[in-house]
Amino acid sequence: MVETEIKDVFIRPLQKHEDDRGWLSEIYRSDELNGEIMPVMSYISVTKPGVTRGPHEHKHQTDLFAFPGFSSFKINLWDNRKNSSTYMKKIELESNAESPLCIIIPPGVVHAYTNIGDTDGITVNSPNKLYKGVGKKEPVDEIRYEDTPDSPFQL
């Protein structure tokens, strides 16, 4: 994992191991992550071309996103942690078939991604908190900015 220009945000190229059947890539390994950010669930999503998910942030959840490269994605990140040395720093990354990425996004870092390719794109997220908590009985840990025109987190 390589730290980005935003403190505590890490990226790792997804390494494809190919043979005549296709390929596989490790998304995470317990010997490479500390216990605080170890995933407790995982989900896969499909994003249609031209669609943006986010921007939003989490108060407690760390996301571990994998962009395996079936389409191209533009990923935007903003550090919204007031006590961070990189507070309000914004970075933009791109992931595609030639350079698929895995990204660790800690709580307080606003994130959004857009499918900029011409085919449906797949993402896998393995967060360290359960969606809606145990038994899906807690509030969702998410602060959404999509419909806030005066938000500093605009694409």
- According to DSSP, the residues that pair with 104 across neighbouring strands are 10, 64
- According to DSSP, the residues that pair with 115 across neighbouring strands are 73
User: Does a structural domain hold residue 146?
Assistant: no
What is the reported pLDDT for 93?
97
What is the reported pLDDT for 26?
94
User: Does a structural domain hold residue 53?
Assistant: yes
Q: What does pTM read for this prediction?
A: 0.94
Q: What is the domain extent for residue 122? A: 2-132
Interval 99-121 mean pLDDT = 97
- Residue range 42-94, pLDDT digits in tens: 999 999 999 999 999 999 999 999 999 899 999 999 999 999 999 999 999 99
User: Does a structural domain hold residue 104?
Assistant: yes
Mean pLDDT, the chain, whole residue set: 96
User: Does a structural domain hold residue 147?
Assistant: no
**From the centroid of its chain, how far is CA 89?**
17
Q: What pLDDT band is residue 95 in, cutting at 50, 70 and 90? A: very high
Tell me: pLDDT of 1 over 90: no
User: Does a structural domain hold residue 103?
Assistant: yes
Beta strands in 27-150 (DSSP E): 43-47, 52-57, 63-67, 73-79, 90-95, 101-105, 109-115, 121-125, 143-144
Total count of domains within the chain: 1
User: Does a structural domain hold residue 138?
Assistant: no
User: Does a structural domain hold residue 25?
Assistant: yes
User: Does a structural domain hold residue 142?
Assistant: no
CATH number of the domain encompassing residue 94: 2.60.120.10
What is the reported pLDDT for 72?
98
Interval 91-120 mean pLDDT = 97
